[in-house]
């Protein structure tokens, strides 16, 4: 039992009153549905923008040894006006609207436009969730995702499709900027990384691959992804707002009710262990520390992230890390059709490998106290840089494409390991930034995360210079990220969530010094 009066040497936090029980399982169920929705919308264009293989043109059949690039060069040189014959694993926009060869770039560019919408959503809705609550903002974002995701399936052309998917991207970015904070503020501190390794996008790669396989075309896949959003909305409707947000805004009774419910859903010994008096004391102390009990609680905005040297250091480093991670992750994913093998099986293998890495990282974190956020970040970057470096080496010395299967394995392993970088960056952000500004910080990071995703689809256009150049660029960025992270981000494992703002030591007005009267 926690006694607040005896806690002189440790901060008062809500973690002491949030048990691992039935309510956390309920939150995890909501979490899983929303993760599948987010993943479905982010990976949607992998299938919808997949470039079909050109088999021939009119009565001419091309050799199987020719790549799509070679065929397109031949067609341009011949100024061919014949009807291309294509083979497609998935009926994409490219196939339906005839975007082949050079025109396929327009569809790739549309990916960046949709992801720019996600960046706008992250920028806008993070601040909204700090003012109106995590739960209500998530409900609004999921409703928009369901509506516009379904509308995109009725598009009659690429321009109409891009506009609707841009709006869909806004709502997807909104859900991403809020979900992490919503879940972290509902989870016991000691189980955060463990649960984050179990509940990630990784197993949902397999589910999305199955969904895409049975959908067969881009219109059906858009409707199926939209339909998955409905269970998430229903489950979220019956959940509580996070206690941290309620206390921050002075809703102490609602916060108490939420925590009491969490304990009621736990084991009997946990229920009997809860002391309401001590809980109310803790809520009062946290409310006072976080300024939530002031007559007019102070609101915090984006510029507050840059008023403290400590916060500034965290924001810049984590932002750069997420840009690099997204460039590597999505740069490889959105060009997965360049790999040998089936598009669906590549997605399945990616999910399985990612999940294996997640389980190993979670087990190491739970077993060894020395394995913290910094250790996993460094180990992940060494692995990713190693796989990408091997691809660069192969491209330097193998011009016959005889090692395409090896490149496939290396790329799938590399893109899978980036999931650990995402987990570590998100965890560090939640554990380093105070409650009052946590979602603002998460939104700021989500903007840079989305910036990386906007850049990512364009990275592989560098292969027109040299086939290995995109991989060399990614490896260089990974090395810079590793150095910056380990210079400026402290270890946060087993640390409680921060509830009070640090001292503002940047851009302060110096007090006026009055001259002594003569």
> Could you tell me the two tokens for 17?
């009153």
Report whether pLDDT(279) > 80: no
What is the share, in percent, of the chain residues with pLDDT greater than 70?
84
Pairing of strands 60-61, 53-57: antiparallel
Within this chain, do residues 79 and 149 fall inside the same structural domain, yes or no? no
Residue 493 forms part of a structural domain = no
Within this chain, do residues 132 and 273 fall inside the same structural domain, yes or no? yes
- Whole-angstrom Cα distance, residue 361 to residue 218? 35
Residue 6 forms part of a structural domain = no
Within this chain, do residues 134 and 38 fall inside the same structural domain, yes or no? yes
Q: Give, in order, the Cα–Cα distances in Å from 171 to each of 28, 41, 123, 124, 165.
A: 21, 10, 11, 10, 10
What are 56's strand-pairing partners? 61, 85
- Whole-angstrom Cα distance, residue 490 to residue 259? 30
- Ramachandran category for residue 196: left, alpha or beta (phi over 0 → left; psi -120 to 50 → alpha): alpha
Within this chain, do residues 219 and 108 fall inside the same structural domain, yes or no? yes
Within this chain, do residues 61 and 163 fall inside the same structural domain, yes or no? no
- CA 104 to chain CA centroid, nearest Å: 27
* Counted domains in the chain: 2
Helix (H, G, I), strand (E, B) or coil at 260: helix
Residue 412's pLDDT is 92
Q: Which residue has the higher pLDDT, 417 or 101?
A: 417
| Nearest to 350, CA basis, from 209, 167, 176, 246 | 209
Condensed to tens digits (0 to 9), the pLDDT of residues 53-105 reads 777 777 777 766 666 667 777 777 666 667 777 777 888 888 888 777 777 77
- Whole-angstrom Cα distance, residue 219 to residue 92? 9
Angle between helices 158-184 and 435-459 (to 10 degrees): 140
| Nearest to 22, CA basis, from 347, 190, 359, 261 | 261
Mean pLDDT of 145-167: 93
Residue 16's pLDDT is 72
Residue 10's pLDDT is 54
pTM of the complete model = 0.74
Residue 139's pLDDT is 94
Condensed to tens digits (0 to 9), the pLDDT of residues 372-399 reads 888 999 999 899 989 988 888 887 776 5
| Nearest to 14, CA basis, from 359, 259, 252 | 259
Report the range out of 3-17, 69-83, 193-207 with the highest average pLDDT: 193-207
- Whole-angstrom Cα distance, residue 276 to residue 56? 75
Domain enclosing residue 72, as ranges: 53-87
What is the share, in percent, of the chain residues with pLDDT greater than 90?
22
> Could you tell me the two tokens for 454?
């906007």
Residue 463's pLDDT is 74
Residue 249's pLDDT is 80
Mean per-residue pLDDT of the chain: 81
pLDDT band at 227 (very low <50, low <70, confident <90, very high): very high
Mean pLDDT of 23-29: 89
Mean pLDDT of 487-492: 86
Residue 500 forms part of a structural domain = no
> Could you tell me the two tokens for 105?
């770039």
Report whether pLDDT(301) > 50: yes
> What does the angle CA 262 – CA 263 – CA 269 come to, to the nearest 5 degrees?
155
What are 91's strand-pairing partners? 217
Within this chain, do residues 79 and 199 fall inside the same structural domain, yes or no? no
Within this chain, do residues 68 and 141 fall inside the same structural domain, yes or no? no
Within this chain, do residues 185 and 210 fall inside the same structural domain, yes or no? yes
Whichever domain contains 128, its CATH number is: 1.20.1250.20
- CA 514 to chain CA centroid, nearest Å: 52
- Whole-angstrom Cα distance, residue 218 to residue 152? 10
Q: Which residue has the higher pLDDT, 179 or 202?
A: 179
| Nearest to 286, CA basis, from 252, 235, 337, 317 | 252
Report the range out of 102-111, 130-139, 256-265, 493-502 with the highest average pLDDT: 130-139
């Amino acid at each position: 039992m926690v006694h607040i009066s005896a806690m002189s040497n440790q901060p008062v936090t809500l973690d002491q009153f949030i048990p691992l029980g039935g309510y956390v399982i309920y939150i995890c169920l909501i979490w899983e549905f929303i993760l599948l929705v987010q993943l479905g919308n982010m990976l949607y264009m992998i299938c919808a923008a997949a470039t079909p293989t050109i088999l021939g043109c009119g009565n001419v059949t091309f050799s199987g040894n020719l790549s799509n690039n070679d065929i397109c060069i031949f067609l341009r040189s011949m100024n061919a006006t014949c009807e291309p014959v294509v083979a497609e694993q998935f009926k994409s926009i490219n196939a339906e609207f005839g975007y082949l060869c050079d025109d396929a770039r327009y569809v790739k560019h549309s990916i960046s436009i949709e992801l720019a919408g996600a960046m706008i959503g992250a920028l806008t809705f993070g601040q909204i969730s700090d003012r109106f609550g995590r739960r209500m903002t998530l409900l609004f974002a999921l409703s928009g995702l369901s509506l516009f995701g379904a509308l995109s399936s009725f598009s009659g052309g690429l321009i109409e499709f891009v506009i609707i998917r841009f709006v869909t991207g806004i709502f997807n970015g909104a859900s991403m900027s809020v979900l992490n904070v919503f879940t972290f503020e509902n989870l016991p501190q000691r189980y955060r990384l463990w649960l984050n390794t179990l509940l990630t996008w990784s197993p949902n790669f397999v589910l999305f691959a199955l969904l895409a396989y049975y959908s067969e075309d881009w219109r059906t896949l858009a409707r199926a992804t939209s339909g998955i959003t409905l269970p998430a909305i229903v489950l979220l409707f019956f959940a509580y707002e996070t206690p941290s947000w309620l206390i921050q805004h002075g809703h102490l009774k609602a916060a108490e009710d939420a925590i009491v419910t969490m304990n009621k859903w736990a084991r009997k010994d946990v229920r009997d262990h809860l002391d309401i008096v001590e809980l109310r004391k803790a809520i009062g102390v946290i409310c006072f520390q976080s300024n939530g009990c002031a007559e007019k609680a102070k609101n915090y905005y984006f510029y507050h992230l840059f008023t403290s040297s400590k916060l500034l250091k965290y924001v810049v480093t984590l932002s750069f890390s997420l840009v690099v991670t997204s460039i590597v992750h999505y740069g490889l994913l959105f060009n997965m059709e360049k790999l040998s093998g089936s598009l669906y099986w590549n997605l399945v293998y990616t999910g399985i490998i990612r999940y294996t890495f997640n389980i190993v990282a979670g087990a190491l974190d739970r077993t060894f106290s020395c394995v913290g956020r910094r250790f996993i970040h460094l180990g992940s970057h060494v692995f990713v840089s190693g796989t990408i470096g091997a691809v660069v080496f192969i491209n330097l010395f193998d011009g016959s494409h005889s090692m395409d299967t090896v490149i496939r394995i290396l790329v799938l392993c590399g893109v899978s390991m980036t999931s650990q970088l995402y987990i570590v960056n998100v965890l560090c952000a939640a554990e380093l930034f105070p409650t009052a500004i946590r979602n603002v910080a998460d939104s700021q990071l989500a903007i840079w995360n989305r910036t990386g995703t906007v850049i990512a689809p364009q990275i592989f256009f560098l292969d027109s210079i040299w086939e290995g150049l995109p991989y060399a660029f990614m490896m260089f960025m990974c090395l810079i990220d590793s150095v910056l992270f380990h210079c400026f981000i402290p270890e946060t494992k087993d640390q409680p969530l921060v509830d009070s703002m640090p001292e503002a030591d940047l851009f302060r007005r110096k007090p006026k010094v009055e001259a002594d009267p003569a």
